[in-house]
Amino acid sequence: MEVLIRPDADDAARTVAGIVHQALAEGVRTLGLATGSAPVGVYRELARRHRHEGLGFAGVDAFLLDEYVGLPPAHPQSLAEVIRRELAEHVDLDPARLHLPSGTAPDLFAEARRFERCLTEAGPLGLQILGIGVNGHIGFNEPGSSLASRTRLKTLTDDTRRDNARFFGSIDDVPRHVITQGLATIGEASHLVLIATGPHKARAVAAAVEGPLTATCPASVLQLHPHATVVVDELAASRL
């Protein structure tokens, strides 16, 4: 695992955007996307590079990690809408090539299987961007998730719902269930790039990078991956 420590969050976002830019320039055509506050900085920088440096997303297929159950796709906090607002609307990514799990499908179990199949058919993603939860989750794989898990329904922990209440106004409005790619699904991407910034992520980053490989810290699964890059600012690196 490669760990890159940058002075601040903007620098960390620029570093990850640079890794994505290089991958696309080298011909990567499948990209995994995450939501969360740190990846948003990466998307702003990718949009800037699209405007000013000719970075193009034509012909790229992008796949989102997860979605809340019960939020219609146009809900401002649905992860589909977040990724459209933060990235897709600002670059030349073909909307038909933005692949999303639906949180409002009539049969959510079948929807999870459909999305997993969609990923399998695309082949290993060239690059997967990841954030990390304060509790060490990646995607919405909460602590205790099987390291062998595939795309499925999960129940959010109260901690995660409390954390994400800032986007919803009240914890009561945060959905209890999600569809998320599994840890094994995520691990199939050729290159995993995790970004974490801020002091509140320091404990999770230390557990993921230097702790034991354990379902208690789902992000520790990166230790098994042949090509994982962790990009952190100094605050998130403070316990390394």
Residues at the site binding ligand GLP, with contacts judged by CB under 6 A:
34-38, 65-66, 131-133, 139-140, 164
Q: Residue 189 and residue 66: Cα distance in Å, rounded?
A: 15
Q: What is the dihedral of CA 54, 94, 189, 5, to 10 degrees?
A: 40
The CB-of-112 to ligand GLP minimum distance in angstroms stands at: 15
Rank residues 126 and 175 by Cβ distance to ligand GLP and give the closer one: 175
CA atoms within 13 A on the CB side of 20: 32
Minimum distance of ligand GLP from residue 100's CB (angstroms): 13
Closest CA to 49 of 13, 3, 75: 13
State the Cα–Cα distance between residues 166 and 172, nearest whole angstrom. Answer: 11
Min separation Cβ 2 and ligand GLP, Å: 19
Q: In the complex, what is the shortest distance from the CB of residue 186 to ligand GLP, in angstroms, rounded to a whole number?
A: 10
Q: Quick check: 145 and 154 in contact, CB under 8 A?
A: yes
* Nearest CB to ligand GLP, comparing residues 55 and 132: 132
Q: Cβ 56 to ligand GLP, closest distance in Å?
A: 25
Is 133 or 175 the residue whose CB approaches ligand GLP more closely? 133
Q: Which is nearer to ligand GLP, 50 or 154 (CB)?
A: 154
CB nearer to ligand GLP: give 162 or 227.
162
Minimum CB–partner distance for residue 38 and ligand GLP (Å):
5
- Strands 177-180, 66-68: pairing kind: antiparallel
Q: Which pairing describes strands 98-99 and 61-64: parallel, antiparallel, or unpaired? A: parallel
Q: Where are the alpha helices (DSSP H) in 9-134?
A: 9-25, 37-53, 79-86, 108-122
Of the pair 32, 126, the CB lying nearest ligand GLP is at: 32
